[in-house]
Amino acid sequence: MTREEFLSSAWASFVDWASRNDEIVAQFESETGERKLPAPRNQLERMIDEACGAQADMDYAEKFMKWVTVNHWGLDEAPESVRKQIEADLAPS
């Protein structure tokens, strides 16, 4: 196993764990103002979300992943592909 493969596996496990940690999620939501939308309760709500192009879960998940990587994991130890993506997002336009 290469170092990059090991980092990728460990990082993914950490992000998964952090997404289920109430304190970390509360900190993320407090610092960013992001809120995870509740899952649709029925097929009608799901169809409305789809018709509106709602991708709230993916947007929230991506923002959380980037935030937890920078604030808790450490960008220097993130897998290379993740680090490059976050650095590109943080770079001034």
Residue 49 has pLDDT above 70, yes or no: yes
* Number of domains the chain is built from: 1
With a cut of 60, say whether residue 29 has pLDDT above it.
Answer: yes
CA distance 61 to 3: 25
CB 67 within 8 A of CB 28: yes
| DSSP conformational letter for 71 | I
Q: Which residue segment(s) compose the domain that 83 sits in? A: 3-90
pTM of the entire predicted model: 0.78
Residue 45, both tokens:
């709500």
Mean model confidence pLDDT for the chain: 89
